[in-house]
Amino acid sequence: MTPEQTIAHYLKRMAPEIERALPSHMNADRMARIAMTTIRTNPQLLQCSVPSLLGAVMQAAQLGLEPGLIGHCYLVPFRNNKENRMDVQFIIGYKGMIDLARRSGNIESIYAHCVYEADEFDYELGLNPKLYHKPATGHRGALKYVYAVAHFKDGGYQFEVMDVEEIERRRKRSKAANNGPWVTDYEEMAKKTVIRHMWKYLPISIEIQQQSAQDEVIRKDIASEPVSVYSDAIDISV
């Protein structure tokens, strides 16, 4: 079999495990189709170890997030120098973080926006915090800020603002700073970065907090626990 046929074969065999992991509104056939579409879009994934690729798919299933173009999560190939092979890293996307936050049941709405040089933008903290953003039309110039806002069902709200310099500092700390979604979907990852920074102030359950922590992880296979790529055992080449 070709590498693509091999992965399709294993996904079919994994269907019962995927089905048990998925939330009720998703099914194993759809997850397998989405995974195969993602793999065809990024052929480098076929060069990765099969167990880590299947583990990343299982991680997506357990969180109820769809990999690929929708932006829920990403499957990113990287060089595991210690094991001398290509493995797959699982990364939660901006829309995935939004989806996890909404599951708490305490958030009315949550969103993030980019601010560019030509936009009208102002914010103030303190006893009476406020935020104003009027996007420009036409060419808006370079990215300057990213902000996130969460409105709670009890009427409260929380917002965070981050300038592009701080976003860059956080990007450079990422093991996937120069590949994957930071290259293909920079603005989406910048939005996710601000939401993650705001996460500790949101009224969300311990379970959701634990789910959101399963970010930038690798699984050796579908049965193993996710391990942060920031452990000393993992070295990602860039």
Q: What angle do CA 229, 12, 57 make, to 5 degrees?
A: 20
Cα 225 to Cα 143: distance, rounded to the nearest angstrom: 38
99 vs 176: which has the higher pLDDT: 99
Looking at residue 236, its pLDDT comes to 37
Q: What is the pLDDT of residues 118-173, one digit of tens each?
A: 999 999 999 899 999 999 999 999 999 999 999 999 888 999 999 999 999 999 88
Is residue 154 exposed (0-12), middle (13-18) or buried (19+ Cβ within 10 Å)? exposed
Q: What is the pLDDT of residues 3-32, one digit of tens each?
A: 888 888 988 998 888 888 888 778 888 899
9: left (phi over 0), alpha (psi -120 to 50) or beta: alpha
Cα diameter, the chain? 64
Looking at residue 109, its pLDDT comes to 93
Q: Which two tokens stand for residue 208?
A: 């959701």
Cβ neighbours around 84 below 10 Å, total = 7
The DSSP 8-state label assigned to residue 226 in this structure reads P
Q: What is the pLDDT of residues 38-52, one digit of tens each?
A: 988 888 999 999 999
**β-pair type (143-152, 107-116):** antiparallel
